[in-house]
Structure 1
Amino acid sequence: MNALPDPALTRAVLVGVGAYAHLEPLPAATRNLPALAAVLTGPLSWQLPAEHCTVVCDPASMPDMLDPVKRAADEAEDTLLVYFAGHGLLDGRGELFFGLPGSQSGWSYTGVTHQALREIILSSPAGRCIVILDCCMSGRALGLMGSDDTLADQAEIDGSYLLAAAPDNSPALAPPGQTHTAFTGQLLKTLEHGVPGPERELDLDLVYQQVRRELVAQNLPEPQKRIRNTAGRLVLARNPAYRPAPRPAGARAAKVPWPDPSTFRTPLAFLEALGEVRALSGLTLQAVSERTDPAVAAQTIGQLLNRTTLPRTWKTTRSYLAACGVPDRQCARWEAAWVRLRAQEQTETTAVVPEPAPARGWHARLRRRRGTDS
């Protein structure tokens, strides 16, 4: 499947429980929800339509929590994301269940069993199921959520990617006075600020590594992950901290650190890298035009660099890259990336889906109608 989910075929359900009658309150758990929804519907992430991102705050009963998950699971064809923040508890047999406002530790009938959630997720036709659990086994004191190493093992679902905040009993996961829980707070920070380096996009694996690194550095609980397929390569957001490798002063063209086309995961990455190539070459559009063979007008090159979809033919792109100084061997790798991403783009455009709302931000470059061929 494509690295970037199709918003029309993707669903997310965000559940948070903060008001508990018999357990320590976790107000940060419900404060996580609007912030995470804003990311998933925003221009730098999946840009889900609002109706495809369901927020469930303090569900009173099992149907109140699971009915929205079931609807989303039935509708999702590309990706299904389910998030839960609140108390994670153990029943008398040591099995995981999720705490509802009236839940009591040890009694699974007062909450939602993991097995019930798992059955719904497994029934979905979605190609990928992402589960994010910001919960542990029990609350220990105000601002504390206790846990056990079995959380991720119990929550594992075939064909899914699990991110779980599963600490030991001592660190605070929801410190008093903080807006968000420690785990989700760091997740939001990573998606907002990115990961400095050469990665153009933030996939699940990269996000997990950054969240884990930051939490461990702060002596906060170490999160876990479980992966059962290639879902770790699913792109969560554009990387705001992407930094291309600097060009060595006076370097010959053959030594320029050109972008590596094998790392392009989306058409957007390919299109942005074309512009980066010209910047690395140090040439103006006119200079590139004069170096192309056969000659390509500067206006046409400008149109190429401002496209919103991949060009349907390879010829002009090949001339452009060669004129910028990209060696033939690397041009062949660019062509292979173009073929791969062009097929991905065609798959997206031929899918029979409802007409989406006008695209904005990051997805606008991927979902607008095709411009002039180059």
Structure 2
Amino acid sequence: MSALPDPALSRAVLIGVSSYLQLESLPPVANNLPALAAVLTSSDSWDLPASHCAVVAEPQTAPAMLDAVQQAAESAEDTLLVYFAGHGLLDGRGELFFGLPGAVAGRSHTGVTYQALREILMDSSAHRLVIVLDCCLSGRALGTMSSGEVLADQAGIEGSYLLAAAPDNGLALAPPGAVHTAFTGELLRILRHGAPGSARDVDLDLVYRELRSSLAAQGLPQPQRRIRNTAGRLVLARNHAYQPASRAPADPAGSAWPDPGQCHTTRAFLDALAEVRAVSGLTITALSQCTQPPVAPSTISALLNRTTLPGTWKSTGSYLAGCGLTDEQIEEWKTVWQRLHAAEPPPSPASQAVAPSSAARGWRARLNRTRRRT
């Protein structure tokens, strides 16, 4: 299964309660929902259709909150993400429940229990589940996931990931006057701007590491997580702060080749292919003359402007060899291509178009400008 969810087969449900009758209101929560929805529906993230990203703001009753989750759980086949921001409370037995606007601590009937949410998710047809809880005491949910009947052990579920804003006895924070809650504000920053380093994509594991680092630096509560199987490699967004890492062997001029091991999505792989040519310093015409057997300039241009993986490896291998990569390095690239090719759904005729997106053109233009300055 691809590290990047299929938007046609994935769903997200974003739930938030900001106004309370008897508890302190949390105004930033109202801003969290549209901001997170905008990220998940953007082409730099999951590119979800708006109809696949449900926003449930200020639900007054349990059905008002859970009906959208139920519908998404029945529809999702690839990935299902459920997010809640608001007050997390404990009932008389110490179990977590999510506060609705009329919530009272200790009275679970004034909210929605985590167990009720979990039962819906356990029946989902999705292969991957992501739960993000931005509420006090959210770490209580981790214990439920680690019990004998964890979500990922249910039939048909490949992996699950629970990201909690606070430990099981900790408080999530909504700083006075802040636009977003502390946890979601940092989450949005990471998804929008990325994390400096050699990772081309922002996956769940990278999000967790960055959240812990940035929140700790601010003296804020440390997030918690629970992972099952390979869910940590699920990509949430493109890493806009990607920085090529130096690695050996490099080309004779001393520039480092991109690392194919950091390519978890088709888009990242194709961008890395373009970066290889930029590092080599060869024009497309000169590169064509270096390939054996010769690869026509038009074929190289088409390869660099693809939006889907090449169906066969031959031209890609010749292209990499012409750029100056060794047989061992080319084999690394081939292994990544095979992995991505196995996970990529069969392309539709429309997806065969080779015209680059504006984002791709911008990326390649930046590479070329950087090369000309060196």
TM over 0.5: yes
User: What corresponds to 1:45 in structure 2?
Assistant: 45
2:316 matched to 1:317?
Answer: yes
User: What corresponds to 1:234 in structure 2?
Assistant: 234
User: What corresponds to 2:215 in structure 1?
Assistant: 215
2:238 matched to 1:245?
Answer: no
Three-state SS of the structure 2 residue aligned to 1:179 is coil
Distance (Å, rounded) in 1 between the aligned partners of 2:360 and 2:85: 28
2:143 matched to 1:153?
Answer: yes
User: What corresponds to 1:59 in structure 2?
Assistant: 59
- 1:273-296, CA deviations, whole angstroms, 9 ceiling, x for partnerless residues? 111111111111121111112222
- 1:125-170, CA deviations, whole angstroms, 9 ceiling, x for partnerless residues? 1001100000014xxxxxxxxx7x6453246652220110115878
User: What corresponds to 1:31 in structure 2?
Assistant: 31
User: What corresponds to 2:157 in structure 1?
Assistant: none
- 1:170-210, CA deviations, whole angstroms, 9 ceiling, x for partnerless residues? 87610110010000000000111101111110000001100
User: What corresponds to 1:144 in structure 2?
Assistant: none
Q: Matched residues, percent identical? A: 61
The 8 Å contact of residues 95 and 154 in structure 1, kept in 2 or not, is answered as no
The 8 Å contact of residues 81 and 131 in structure 1, kept in 2 or not, is answered as yes
Structure 2 letter corresponding to 1:24: E
Structure 1 unpaired stretches of 5+: 138-146, 351-358, 365-374
How do 1:1-374 and structure 2 match up within 5 A? 1-137=1-137, 150-154=140-144, 157-159=150-152, 160-167=160-167, 173-245=173-245, 252=252, 257-345=256-344, 347-349=345-347
What value does the CA root-mean-square deviation take over the aligned residues?
2.4
The 8 Å contact of residues 198 and 262 in structure 2, kept in 1 or not, is answered as no
Three-state SS of the structure 1 residue aligned to 2:23 is coil
The 8 Å contact of residues 13 and 81 in structure 1, kept in 2 or not, is answered as yes
The 8 Å contact of residues 136 and 151 in structure 1, kept in 2 or not, is answered as no
User: What corresponds to 1:353 in structure 2?
Assistant: none
1:64 to partner: Cα distance: 0.3
1:340 to partner: Cα distance: 2.1
Distance (Å, rounded) in 2 between the aligned partners of 1:361 and 1:98: 42
The 8 Å contact of residues 76 and 124 in structure 1, kept in 2 or not, is answered as yes
Distance (Å, rounded) in 2 between the aligned partners of 1:292 and 1:170: 60
Larger deviation, residues 173-182 vs 285-294: 285-294
Larger deviation, residues 44-53 vs 279-288: 279-288
Three-state SS of the structure 1 residue aligned to 2:151 is coil
Q: Go from structure 1 to structure 2 and tell me whether the alpha carbon gap of 1:5 and 1:360 turns closer, same or farther (over 3 Å shift).
A: farther
The 8 Å contact of residues 9 and 78 in structure 1, kept in 2 or not, is answered as yes
Structure 1 letter corresponding to 2:306: R
TM-score, length of structure 2 as denominator length: 0.86
Count of aligned pairs between the two proteins: 343
The 8 Å contact of residues 168 and 221 in structure 1, kept in 2 or not, is answered as no
TM-score, length of structure 1 as denominator length: 0.86
Three-state SS of the structure 2 residue aligned to 1:333 is helix
Distance (Å, rounded) in 2 between the aligned partners of 1:154 and 1:176: 32
Distance (Å, rounded) in 2 between the aligned partners of 1:172 and 1:126: 29
Q: Go from structure 1 to structure 2 and tell me whether the alpha carbon gap of 1:363 and 1:75 turns closer, same or farther (over 3 Å shift).
A: farther
Distance (Å, rounded) in 1 between the aligned partners of 2:295 and 2:92: 73
